[in-house]
């Protein structure tokens, strides 16, 4: 069964990435959470990444400000790392976005939008689905459900507009 390691630089980041947890839970994907800082606990970050391959299929790392955590983890593992820039500090996550997306050649970090925990989870699911056909089927249904919800909203808006004319 697939398992994801989620690493955050601070407990203050928990609310910003909550959608990641719930999305993985919705798809019955096991995950663990670790708090670790690329700057305040660099040895721990390296150890987490080095040992992750034994227990996990990929890593999601959320960080704000300088946001080195996803890159530090990616440098020490062959697992895919998905970086989530988090809105923190005076630049509201733009600094984190640039830090995560601008990795040097050869050490990639997949990057989602600022506070994009849900998209990080969905991207993780798509990667995991490459080896798990049941997960691929759940993702197809998820996409269809998104389309159904949008169409229902579309019809509701049209009905509301028609009654006002």
Q: For 19-46, write each residue's pLDDT tens digit.
A: 999 999 999 999 999 999 999 999 999 9
CA distance 91 to 2: 35
DSSP H helices in 4-132: 18-26, 42-52, 69-75, 94-101, 117-128
Instruction: Name the residue among 114, 136, 112, 109 with its Cα closest to residue 125.
Output: 136
Is the pLDDT score of 103 beyond 70?
yes
- The per-residue pLDDT for 150 is 94
Residue carrying structure tokens 């970090």: 109
Q: How far apart (Å, rounded) are the C-alpha atoms in residues 135 and 123?
A: 12
The encoded tokens of residue 97 equal: 């976005």
User: E-strand spans in the chain?
Assistant: 3-8, 30-35, 58-64, 81-86, 110-111
On the question of pLDDT at 165 being above 70, the answer is: no
Closest CA to 64 of 20, 44, 94: 94
For residue 130, give both structure tokens: 């490459």
Give the model's confidence band at 162: pLDDT under 50 very low, under 70 low, under 90 confident, else very high: confident
Instruction: Name the pTM for this structure.
Output: 0.92
């Amino acid at each position: 069964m697939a398992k994801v390691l989620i690493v955050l630089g601070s407990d203050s980041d928990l609310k910003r990435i909550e959608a990641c947890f719930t999305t993985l839970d919705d798809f019955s994907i096991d995950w663990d959470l670790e708090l670790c800082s690329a700057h305040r606990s660099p040895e721990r970050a390296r150890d987490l990444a080095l040992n992750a391959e034994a227990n996990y299929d990929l890593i999601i790392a959320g960080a704000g400000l300088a946001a080195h955590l996803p890159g530090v983890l990616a440098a020490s593992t062959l697992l895919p790392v998905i970086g989530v820039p988090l809105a923190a500090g005076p630049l509201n996550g733009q600094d984190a976005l640039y830090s995560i997306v601008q990795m040097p050649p050869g050490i990639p970090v997949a990057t989602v939008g600022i506070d994009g925990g849900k998209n990080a989870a969905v991207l993780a699911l798509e990667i995991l689905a490459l080896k798990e056909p049941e997960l691929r089927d759940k993702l197809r249904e998820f996409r269809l459900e998104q389309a159904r919800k949008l169409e229902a909203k579309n019809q509701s808006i049209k009905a509301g507009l028609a009654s006002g004319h």
